Amino acid sequence: MNIYKILIYLVWAMVISAFVGGCTVITAIKNDWNGWFGGLPSLQSLERPEADLSSNLYYADGEEIIGSYYRHNRTAVSYNELSQELITTLLVTEDIRFTKHSGIDLRGLLRAASGILTFQFKGGGSTLTMQLAENLYGTSTVNQGSLYSNRKVGQLITKIKEWIIAIQLESSYTKEEILAMYLNTIEYGENAFGIQVASKTFFNKLPSEITYKEAAILVSLINAPTRYNPTRNPENALAKRTEVLYNLHKYDKIDKESYDSLVVSDFGLQFKVADQDQGPAYFKFVVRNDLMKWCEKNGYDLYSDGLRIYTTIDNRIQEYAQQAMKEHMDTLQYIFNRHLQGRMPWIDGDGNEILDFIDMTIKRTPNYKQLVKRYGVGSDSLNYYLNLPKKMTVFSYEGEIDTTFSLVDSLKYYKQFLQAGFMAMEPQTGHIKAWVGGIDHKYFKYDHVKQGKRQPGSTFKPFVYAAAIDLGYSPCFPVVDAPVTWVLEDPANPTWTPQNADGKYTGETMTIRRAMASSVNSITANIMQKISPRAAVDMAHACGIESELDAVPSLCLGAGGDVSLYELVGAYSTFVNQGTWTEPYYITRIEDKNGVVLEDFVPKRREAISEKTAYLMLHMLKGAIEEQGGTGRGLDWSLKENNDIGAKTGTTQNASDGWFMGVTHNLVAGAWVGGDDRYVHFRNWSLGQGARTARPIWEKFMLKVYADPRTGVEKGRFRKPTQPLGVELDCDHYNGVNTQVDSLGVGVDNFQDELENIDF
């Protein structure tokens, strides 16, 4: 046998040995012999690779996103949603031969071969498809067998796994799909996962709008999102961008003139990290609870399945609600601080400061509970850490403040802020249009629309009067403003006589419309005696109040149970919706990541009261605007002109809670203002009443909404019932001589001026 034949046999033997050896290794890795290799993803997962996708919450327009729920902030896009300049920049930088290989680039493989054979593996040869394998399945970090204890052997096994997965991906997907999947799975830094979020974060653009200048930055971030971050490390980012731009010129994608121009240009950033505390943040977190229950019931993961949740929230109306609250609460907080004159706002029924308030309150905080768990109750260490000063950033209406506070100092500071809630709803459909749960979600997480419940004060009175009207009473029914005494089954307090807000009884005869308009307690108590507390409770529940209410005399003043603003707005909407209660709701449909509708939602509806009773209650509510002494008379004239408005204020004892409910023919909205704790309130009842604390929010909101025709909210009249009322509505001749002062008819613009004359 000559030497030539021997060489041929040797070559074939090497080829066969390499083939057999390679097949053996691949088989061993696939089957994970003896747990050496850690195994591969299942065939099913290779054919249908998934990356965690953010679930997005959309405004009513179906386009603008309210916020997202995610473990990694990622929204997938298709190949057709990528600009060609972005695709080109990616390929010249990461894989210029991408369209010519089938997952493994032979040239790159040969470059890496010497390193593999000598166990001096330094990488190289990774195609985009192989990188996608790592992004999807974490080949270098998960499913590691015992052989990974040797780092170099582990690197070799990882590379082989990526080859296997890349070939499978290439056989299952088109090149375009692989490119899109790759860009969707990349982490770009600043909590931006995927090209959609990255484009929005760094340039406030869609991926389809990205140019070479912007693409060079985004592609630079792929392998080192911190090192090449243009906001954190601009020098590194500039050098890397120059390298990427040179690749575009090197491969004739841009000419020399374009390169020279781009390389000296600025970054063109419009940088804004997605902020979970912006926009309707309270709404987003309240809705999350409902979505988690829905996902558990239907087998979805809210944080990874890329659901599309469409809501009823109108982006413009929501913005005006947020503006109205901020504008008023900034002013009101100034007034609150001024009237305290350095005194603490937590006071008891006698107006005295509760000296141990902070000591009691701090025990409910998570920080206190963690310290107790670590050091024990009453320990010196507990007291030390509670009072240890440390640097922190705190909320203020003028902007965030850097300061040094202990945990006790911080609690004392934050408890002095007044809180608020606001909700607006379309009564006919049940669509919630705006939801503001507090003054700043970043620093005050508690939602005061649905989560929080407080005594409704006089905003409960319409249900007392609605029960009376349903029993045949007329808005013109006359009653004397005089003491009403209840006999109670309580030996310690055998009788109860409710007083009017000013502590006086005029002896005047007035209609129940005027009495409700000016919130005369004695007359509401008189009517409650006639109809019974149980009738009022039943009416409230029929109209949509779901919270438990006690059928007690004090309920006529709203002191028989706590309710939410969410419930009150829905219940008042029953009057506008001709007696039909429509559940306030905020989710219209849920789709999967591909746009397939998983469920459509419709609100619950029920006939609560007759349309006649509903219309008469609207007439009663209009009394707040039309009757002398009405608590809504101070509203801006432009709101009342050529427009039907019904309203009711509410203030609980000691002015702990201020309420205002306003109804129009196509929008019902309500506001609540008070402290997070009931002990925190104005010392002066006049300052803390709902007409002063809550009404201005509604007024400012409606002025903004009416001024913008794009909201679709227009002035109009309440719809009349189809059947004749058979009830007199002109009640003027039933009212006696008015001896009350129209003390609540104060417009928003006059609020601060009037404070100069108030004794704080």
Q: In what order do the strands lie in the sheet with 65-69?
A: 65-69, 55-58, 308-311, 587-591, 597-600
CA distance 312 to 728: 39
Q: Compute the residue count for the chain.
A: 760
Which of 12-21, 131-140, 665-674 tops mean pLDDT?
665-674
Q: Is the pLDDT of residue 146 over 90?
A: no
| Residue where the block lists tokens 């590379």 | 159
CA distance 422 to 434: 8
Domains observed in the chain: 32-263 (1.10.3810.10), 361-415 (no CATH), 418-745 (3.40.710.10)
C-alpha separations of 341 from 344, 689, 692 in Å: 9, 19, 19
Confidence of residue 724 (pLDDT cuts 50, 70, 90): confident
Instruction: Give me the amino acid identity at 114.
Output: S
C-alpha separations of 56 from 70, 78, 647 in Å: 9, 16, 36
Tokens of 109: 């493989």
Which of 282-286, 703-707, 739-743 tops mean pLDDT?
703-707
| Segment 455-514, tens digit of pLDDT | 999 999 999 999 999 999 999 999 999 999 998 888 888 899 999 988 899 999 999 999
Q: What is the mean pLDDT of residues 179-205?
A: 89
Contact 139, 164 (CB under 8 A): no
How far from the centroid of its chain's Cα atoms is residue 357's Cα? 31
Confidence of residue 151 (pLDDT cuts 50, 70, 90): low
| Segment 77-113, tens digit of pLDDT | 899 999 999 999 999 999 888 888 877 776 666 555 5
Q: What is the pLDDT of residue 122?
A: 45
Q: Is the pLDDT of residue 46 over 70?
A: no
Q: What is the pLDDT of residue 687?
A: 93
Q: What is the mean pLDDT of residues 623-644?
A: 95
DSSP-derived 3-state class of residue 713? coil
How far from the centroid of its chain's Cα atoms is residue 319's Cα? 13
In the chain, the percentage of residues whose pLDDT exceeds 90 is 67
43 Cβ neighbours under 8 A, 6+ residues apart: 168
Of 519, 544, 545, 546, give the one whose Cα is nearest residue 465.
Answer: 519
- Kindly report which listed range (64-68, 204-208, 554-558) carries the lowest average pLDDT score: 64-68
Confidence of residue 137 (pLDDT cuts 50, 70, 90): low
Side-chain half-sphere CA neighbours of 265 within 13 A = 17
Q: Is the pLDDT higher at 350 or at 507? A: 507
In the chain, the percentage of residues whose pLDDT exceeds 70 is 84
Q: Is the pLDDT of residue 207 over 80?
A: yes
Q: Is the pLDDT of residue 594 over 80?
A: yes
Q: Is the pLDDT higher at 67 or at 644? A: 644
CA distance 514 to 500: 14
Q: Is the pLDDT of residue 31 over 70?
A: no
- Tally of CB atoms within 10 A around 378: 8
Q: What is the mean pLDDT of residues 720-733?
A: 81
Secondary structure tally for the chain: helices H, strands E: 28, 20
Confidence of residue 22 (pLDDT cuts 50, 70, 90): very low
CA distance 616 to 621: 9
Helix 461-470 and helix 521-531, axial crossing angle in degrees, nearest 10: 40
Confidence of residue 24 (pLDDT cuts 50, 70, 90): very low
CA distance 305 to 72: 11
pTM: 0.79
Q: What is the mean pLDDT of residues 654-672?
A: 97
Calculate the average pLDDT of the chain: 86
CA distance 715 to 748: 20
Q: What is the pLDDT of residue 759?
A: 42
- Tally of CB atoms within 10 A around 102: 14
Confidence of residue 135 (pLDDT cuts 50, 70, 90): confident
Tokens of 651: 């203030």
Q: Is the pLDDT of residue 115 over 70?
A: no
Confidence of residue 749 (pLDDT cuts 50, 70, 90): very low
CA distance 414 to 416: 5
| Segment 512-524, tens digit of pLDDT | 999 999 999 999 9
Tokens of 151: 């780092």
| Segment 281-300, tens digit of pLDDT | 999 999 999 999 999 999 99
Q: Is the pLDDT of residue 349 over 50?
A: yes
Contact 550, 528 (CB under 8 A): no
Q: What is the 3-state secondary structure (H, E, C) of 108-152?
A: HHHHHHHHHHCCCCCCCCCCHHHHHHHHHHCCCCCCCCHHHHCHH
Tokens of 700: 């400012």
